[in-house]
Structure 1
Amino acid sequence: MSGLIKSSIARKVAMALSGLFLVFFLLQHFTINFTSIFSADIFNELSHFMGTNPVVQFVLQPVLIFGVIFHFVMGFVLELKNNKARAVKYAKYNGGANASWMSRNMIYSGLVVLAFLGLHFYDFWVPEMVHKYIEFAPEDPTRYYPELLHKFESPVRTGLYVLSFVFLTLHLWHGFASSFQSVGFNNKYSAAASKFAKAFSIVIPLGFIVVAIALHFNQH
């Protein structure tokens, strides 16, 4: 870990790899959530599998939590190191002439995404842990969709989710595309990879927004 903090190249590579890992999880999470729009049964079935499979629960879930923490810690470290390394003061630094708004404000979009993850964990992960390991409630394979639907009853809560995914788009727009460069992906496919990353940055958060709005207006 000390080597990662000391080496700027290692920090960027570690940040990119952890980001790519989280992007993969984001796609998987979206795929499951999107099924809730057209089939409560499919959503329940997939959620029940994810919620009861021991590999998912005791291997992949801890790895995911570590990946989230690692990514954001490295983001803060990079921001501090970059600020310290700048040879000119902010008063003389024309950031817009050298980098896009998204790249200059990754720390802020990242903080909003981090706050959203806190809300998301509070809404879903914490109740799930309480249900399983504190209350030891009997498992009900059909409970997942009603629980999801309930979370989007409030227009305020739905609005917070929508706003968070807008900031996720901003964060991914620069972060996902630049991650390919950070890991050394620089060949004839670089332009295509960058376009894919930009499209992903719009389509997936937009898909989450569609799910949130659809569930809000689908209350029984």
Structure 2
Amino acid sequence: MGGILKSSIARKLVMALSGLFLVLFLLQHFLINFTSVLSADLFNEISHFMGTNFFVQFLLQPVLILGVIVHFVMGIALEIKNRNARVKKYVRFNGGANSSWMSRNMIWTGLVVLAFLGLHFYDFWFPEIYHKYIAIHPEDPMRYYGETVAKFQDPIRTGLYVISFIFLALHLLHGFSSSFQTVGWHQKFYKGLRGATVAFSILIPLGFIFIALFHYINQVQ
């Protein structure tokens, strides 16, 4: 395994596969969060199930955390390797001639997303761990909606979420479609997928922005 991961191709493949896995989680996370706009009871019911289900908590959640770590470690390792490989500087090189802004700045958009994940863990995951396993409070199936919307009372925190989702969109606009190329998706099918990945990369972050602003505006009115 160590020898395989020394290969740039293997690292790119691992990063692509972990990225596609995280996209699936992102979609699932959005669908659950969107129910908070539709019905507090429905959001509480789904969140309670996810928060108390053994399979989700002790199998899927560790896999998700591992996926996040692997994806970002591989991305940073590839960026360092690419920078070290550029032993010659071409003064007249135009980086934008053959690549998009998103592809040239994946490391920066990725770092912003990573910082956002840190904030998100601080807001939701750590308090949940404390509530259940440290303070050992009795389970309240109706607490999830109130705890979630309370985070969007602060305009600064809401603004940080909005900015982070914009950077997530920029990261996805290149990363999502390029992941299919990396795993060897046939060019004939890739062309059809390009439109779908662009739509996903824009609509899902916009959906998260809508959720954040919806709860913020509802509380300041």
Q: Shorter-chain TM-score category?
A: over 0.9
Q: 2 CA distance for matches of 1:112 and 1:31?
A: 23
Q: CA contact under 8 A between 1:5 and 1:77: conserved in structure 2?
A: no
Equivalenced residue count is 220
CA shift for structure 1 position 50: 0.4
**2:116 maps to which residue?**
116
RMSD value, Cα: 1.3
**Could you say if the C-alpha distance between residues 90 and 77 of structure 1 is closer, same or farther in structure 2, counting changes exceeding 3 Å?**
farther
Report the equivalent of 1:57.
57
1:154/1:90 CA distance change after superposition, 3 Å: farther
Which residue pairs with 1:199 in the alignment?
199
Once residues 175 and 4 of structure 2 are traced to their aligned partners in structure 1, the CA distance between those partners, rounded to angstroms, is 19
List alignment gaps of at least 5 residues for structure 2.
Answer: none
Partner of 1:190: 190
* Aligned position for 2:21: 21
Matching of residues 1-220 of structure 1 within 5 Å: 1-89=1-89, 91-219=91-219
User: Which segments of structure 1 move beyond 6 Å, counting only runs of 4 or more?
Assistant: none
Distance of 2:103 and 2:179 partners within structure 1: 12
In 1, Cα distance between equivalents of 2:77 and 2:2: 11
In 1, Cα distance between equivalents of 2:46 and 2:84: 46
Cα deviation per residue 1:70-120 (whole Å; 9 max; x = unaligned)?
Answer: 100000001011112235326454211121110000000000000000000
Instruction: Compute the TM-score of the two structures, normalised by the length of structure 2.
Output: 0.96
Structure 1 residues not aligned, in runs of 5+: none
Q: Structure 2: how far apart are the matches of 1:90 and 1:105?
A: 19
